[in-house]
């Protein structure tokens, strides 16, 4: 095959793509923990369309405990370093196993970040850069974040206390320190405010104790209001959403709108997140979907992710919005420096026509294992794009120079 001719053809054809895509922008994505399939699945944040398998236990191998990495993924959050952190229970039937994995924003597996806490449910990073996780039967634990001197280890200044459903850390001005909300999914249901020393500062049991609701996911919304989803309401398949303006001095949860007008198929809500318009997204474990609700009045707006779309099965707490095109996932940015330029072109040319086993860092931007004309077109389409500024469209003369430059690199490699 004439690889050089193929290389030139695909780069020149990119001119058409540049004209068509000029001025467009990518929507963010929604990452969902698919506990039933041992995967993290990625969906379009606007349309709910399935985009790709972000991470899969089937290709990650085993951990030092003898279990499978990513088996039974639960909580998930984006860390201060921009990477995606996922809790897992490793699937060997032992509640004393599992840990936290770290992935790049494009889904590339980085490492096992921590094995300090096992059997993790919910996970959230706090304003101090540390990771707060729930462990069944022993409350909230604090794992030191990636910027710590000892990342992945337990915070020696944190004391765990009590059973917990979910956790949401925040900076408490009164305490002058990081504290957290934790939902208690028994004893009629409660949401408590606790500090790192293990002391319970406040208890909120209304409306849970009076309506037999059980609080699960808690999340501070973009409006600085605390949101809580609950199940086991009457009837048990209903989804109730409650809000509390804790930071404005309100001391009791209020029901958002009707709160019980969701599709009856929605059952056992766990994770909660917010889309770019501020709508509430709720993962429904038993119906394998992600529902959308209005922040204004609690109206059920339908499913963003339909039941079992993309293979979704039993989504858990892990429900995380992935912003579009950051430094580590900008299409064409092979060296992860946040811009598509000649350095990335040289990497692609050096690996040109690698047929199998290629990675993003080799120029495989569509992640099909090969470096070919599709990847070259992606690079040319995003030429001179920057992570913060979006794609800039080069003049035709610039594209010709790009083609010639890449051709020279290819010929140098072949010689």
> What are the domain boundaries of the chain?
3-25+332-414, 29-322
Whole-number pLDDT of residue 361: 76
Whole-number pLDDT of residue 4: 47
* Per-residue pLDDT tens over the stretch 340-364: 888 888 888 888 988 876 778 788 8
Distance CA 305, CA 389 (A): 29
Q: In sequence order, which residues have a C-beta less than 8 Å from that of residue 93 and are 6 or more positions away? A: none
Whole-number pLDDT of residue 392: 44
Which has more pLDDT, 42 or 162? 42
> What sign does the CA torsion over 344, 346, 347, 351 have?
positive
Q: Is the pLDDT of residue 29 over 60?
A: yes
Beta strands in 185-225 (DSSP E): 190-195, 200-204, 214-220
235 band by pLDDT with thresholds 50, 70 and 90: low
Whole-number pLDDT of residue 176: 92
User: Where is average pLDDT lowest: 90-99, 260-269, 282-291?
Assistant: 260-269
Which has more pLDDT, 396 or 298? 298
- Average pLDDT for residues 366-388, to the nearest whole number? 83
Whole-number pLDDT of residue 234: 55
Distance CA 305, CA 43 (A): 8
- Average pLDDT for residues 125-148, to the nearest whole number? 93
* Per-residue pLDDT tens over the stretch 282-327: 999 888 999 998 888 888 888 999 999 999 999 999 999 998 754 4
Half-sphere exposure of 43 toward its Cβ, with a 13 Å CA cutoff?
30
Q: Is the pLDDT of residue 403 over 80?
A: no
Helix (H, G, I), strand (E, B) or coil at 295: coil
Which of 62-76, 146-160, 257-271, 359-373 has the highest average model confidence (pLDDT)? 146-160
The answer to whether residues 379 and 315 touch, using CB atoms and an 8 Å cutoff, is: no
Task: Give pTM, 2 decimals.
Answer: 0.74
Distance CA 174, CA 27 (A): 38
Distance CA 54, CA 43 (A): 10
Whole-number pLDDT of residue 248: 87
Q: Is the pLDDT of residue 334 over 60?
A: yes
For residues 100-131, b (16+ Cβ closer than 10 Å) or e, as one string? bbbbbbbbbbeebbbebbbbbbbbbbbebbbb
Say which residue the tokens 């406040």 belong to: 202
Which of 17-21, 40-44, 389-393 has the highest average model confidence (pLDDT)? 40-44
Whole-number pLDDT of residue 359: 73
CATH class of this structure's domain 3-25+332-414? mainly alpha
- Whether cis (ω within 30° of 0) applies to the bond prior to 235 is yes
% of the chain exceeding 90 in pLDDT: 43
Distance CA 70, CA 371 (A): 28
Q: In a 10 Å sphere around its CB, with 0-12 CB exposed, 13-18 middle and 19+ buried, how is residue 222 labelled?
A: exposed
Q: Which CATH architecture has domain 29-322?
A: 7 Propeller (2.130)
Q: Is the pLDDT of residue 22 over 70?
A: no
Q: Is the pLDDT of residue 262 over 70?
A: no
Query: Among 236, 240, 235, 322, which Cα is nearest to 282's?
Result: 240
The answer to whether residues 109 and 101 touch, using CB atoms and an 8 Å cutoff, is: yes
Query: Among 220, 261, 219, which Cα is nearest to 240's?
Result: 261
* Per-residue pLDDT tens over the stretch 203-221: 998 888 766 778 889 999 9
- Average pLDDT for residues 249-275, to the nearest whole number? 74
* Per-residue pLDDT tens over the stretch 146-156: 999 999 999 99
Query: Among 165, 131, 109, 123, which Cα is nearest to 273's?
Result: 123
Q: Is the pLDDT of residue 59 over 70?
A: yes
Whole-number pLDDT of residue 136: 76
């Amino acid at each position: 095959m004439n690889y050089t001719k193929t290389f030139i053809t695909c780069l020149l054809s990119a001119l058409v793509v540049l004209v068509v895509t000029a001025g467009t922008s990518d929507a963010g994505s929604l990452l969902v923990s698919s506990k039933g399939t041992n995967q993290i699945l990625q969906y379009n944040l606007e349309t709910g369309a399935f985009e790709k398998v972000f991470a899969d236990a089937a290709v990650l191998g085993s951990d030092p405990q003898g279990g499978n990495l990513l088996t039974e993924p639960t909580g998930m959050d984006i860390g201060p370093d921009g990477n995606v952190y996922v809790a897992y229970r490793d699937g060997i039937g032992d509640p004393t196993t599992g840990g936290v994995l770290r992935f790049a924003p494009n889904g590339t597996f980085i490492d096992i970040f921590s094995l300090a806490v096992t059997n993790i449910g919910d996970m959230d990073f706090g304003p101090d850069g540390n990771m707060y996780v729930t462990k069944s039967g022993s409350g909230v634990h604090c794992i030191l974040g990636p910027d710590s001197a000892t990342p992945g280890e337990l915070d020696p200044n944190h004391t765990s206390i009590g059973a917990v459903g979910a956790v949401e850390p925040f900076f408490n001005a009164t305490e002058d320190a990081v504290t957290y909300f934790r939902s208690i999914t028994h004893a009629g249901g409660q949401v408590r405010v606790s500090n790192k020393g293990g002391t319970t500062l406040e208890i909120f049991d209304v409306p849970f104790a009076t309506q037999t609701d059980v609080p699960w996911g808690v999340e501070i919304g973009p409006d600085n209001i605390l949101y809580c989803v609950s199940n086991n309401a009457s009837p048990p398949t209903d989804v109730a959403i409650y809000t509390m303006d804790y930071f404005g001095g309100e001391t009791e949860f209020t029901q958002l709108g009707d709160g019980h007008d969701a599709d009856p198929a929605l059952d056992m809500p766990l994770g909660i997140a917010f889309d770019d318009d501020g709508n509430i997204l709720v993962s429904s474990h038993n119906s394998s979907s992600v529902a959308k609700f209005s922040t204004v009045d609690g109206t059920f707006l339908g499913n963003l992710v339909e039941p079992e779309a993309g293979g979704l099965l039993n989504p858990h707490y892990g429900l995380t919005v992935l912003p579009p095109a950051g430094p580590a996932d900008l299409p064409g940015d092979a060296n992860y420096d946040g811009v598509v330029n000649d350095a990335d072109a040289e990497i692609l040319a050096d690996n040109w026509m690698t047929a199998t086993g290629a990675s993003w860092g080799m120029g495989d931007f569509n992640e099909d294992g090969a470096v070919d004309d599709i990847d070259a077109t992606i690079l040319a389409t995003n030429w001179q794009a920057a992570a913060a500024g979006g794609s800039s469209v080069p003049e035709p003369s610039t594209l010709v120079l790009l083609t010639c430059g890449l051709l020279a690199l290819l010929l140098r490699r072949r010689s």
